[in-house]
């Protein structure tokens, strides 16, 4: 399968990591259902990489572990990074957060290419990237897809999924770029305002719109 020509908008020089194939960004907001869409696409056989999973791979690289062992050994148990402790460090000291994030992101292109190679020469790739708009990376993609749910639905799902109070849920959402703002920036929208069967229909319809054999 391949991406239809009208959705191929970049040259390799302009793409994320200078990729020779079209790359589609899949993003969303907290509790909008992006992970569910990723699973549906993977189950349907579409080539997809997950930024969060790639970051976890980078955290297991020798360069990262050596840095943490030297500078912040308290967040390691053997080679296992204790992410809760790391988040606490980030919260206390922005410079620590910046230094470690710079280390992680400097290694991400190599890991991306390594994982892409495992997909056996796809004609395009979908990249599940939560911070697409936060990091102003949308110009590096041929197409951006946003999984959308209303703020009210986000709050409801957060309360149900993570046992947050309404105040806590609203506070979490308030600290992110609003889903309505992301909706204005995205090229195409995947509506997730109902149940899983509705979402499956949305994803199938989108795939028919975007791809051909």
Give the separation between CA 1 and CA 126, rounded to whole angstroms. Answer: 13
Mean pLDDT over residues 28-56, rounded?
Answer: 97
pLDDT higher than 90, residue 120: no
**pTM above 0.85?**
yes
Q: Are residues 40 and 56 in the same domain?
A: no
Residue 47: partners with Cβ closer than 8 Å, 6 or more residues away: 119, 122, 124, 125, 126
Give the separation between CA 31 and CA 45, rounded to whole angstroms. Answer: 24
Residue 55: partners with Cβ closer than 8 Å, 6 or more residues away: 104, 108
Q: Are residues 175 and 114 in the same domain?
A: no
Mean model confidence pLDDT for the chain = 96
Residue whose token pair is 């992101």: 105
End position of a domain, from candidates 89, 118, 147 = 118
Q: Are residues 20 and 103 in the same domain?
A: no
What is the extent of the structural domain holding 74?
A: 52-118
Residue 197: predicted pLDDT: 96
Alpha-carbon dihedral 64, 131, 157, 84, rounded to 10 degrees = 20
Q: Are residues 40 and 128 in the same domain?
A: yes
Q: Are residues 72 and 174 in the same domain?
A: no
Q: Are residues 168 and 209 in the same domain?
A: yes
Give, for 210, the enclosing helix (H) or strand (E): helix 196-210
User: In the numeric block, which tokens belong to residue 85?
Assistant: 């402790």
Alpha-carbon dihedral 190, 195, 196, 201, rounded to 10 degrees = -50
Q: How many domains does the chain have?
A: 2
- Band (195; pLDDT cuts 50, 70, 90): very high
Residue 121: predicted pLDDT: 93
End position of a domain, from candidates 118, 141, 156 = 118
Q: Residue 167: give its domain's CATH number.
A: 3.40.50.300
Q: Which long-range contacts (CB under 8 A, 24 or more apart) does 65-68 make?
A: 67/100, 67/103, 68/100
């Amino acid at each position: 399968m391949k991406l239809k020509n009208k959705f191929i908008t970049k040259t390799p020089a302009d793409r994320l990591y200078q990729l020779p194939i079209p790359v589609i960004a899949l993003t969303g907001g907290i509790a909008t259902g992006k992970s569910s869409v990723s699973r549906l696409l993977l189950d349907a056989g579409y080539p997809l990489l997950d930024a969060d999973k790639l970051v976890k791979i980078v955290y297991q690289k020798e360069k990262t572990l050596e840095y943490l062992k030297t500078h912040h050994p308290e967040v390691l148990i053997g080679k296992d990074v204790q992410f809760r402790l790391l988040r606490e460090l980030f919260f206390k000291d922005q410079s620590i957060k910046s230094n470690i994030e710079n280390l992680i992101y400097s290694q991400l292109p190599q890991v991306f290419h390594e994982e892409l190679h495992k997909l056996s020469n796809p004609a395009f790739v979908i990249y599940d990237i939560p911070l697409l708009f936060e990091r102003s990376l949308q110009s590096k993609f041929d197409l951006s897809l946003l999984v959308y749910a209303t703020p009210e639905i986000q709050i409801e799902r957060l309360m149900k999924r993570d046992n947050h109070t309404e105040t806590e849920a609203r506070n979490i959402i308030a600290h992110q770029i609003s889903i309505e703002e992301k909706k204005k920036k995205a090229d195409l929208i995947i509506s997730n305002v109902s149940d899983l069967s509705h979402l499956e229909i949305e994803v199938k319809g989108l795939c028919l719109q975007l791809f051909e054999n």
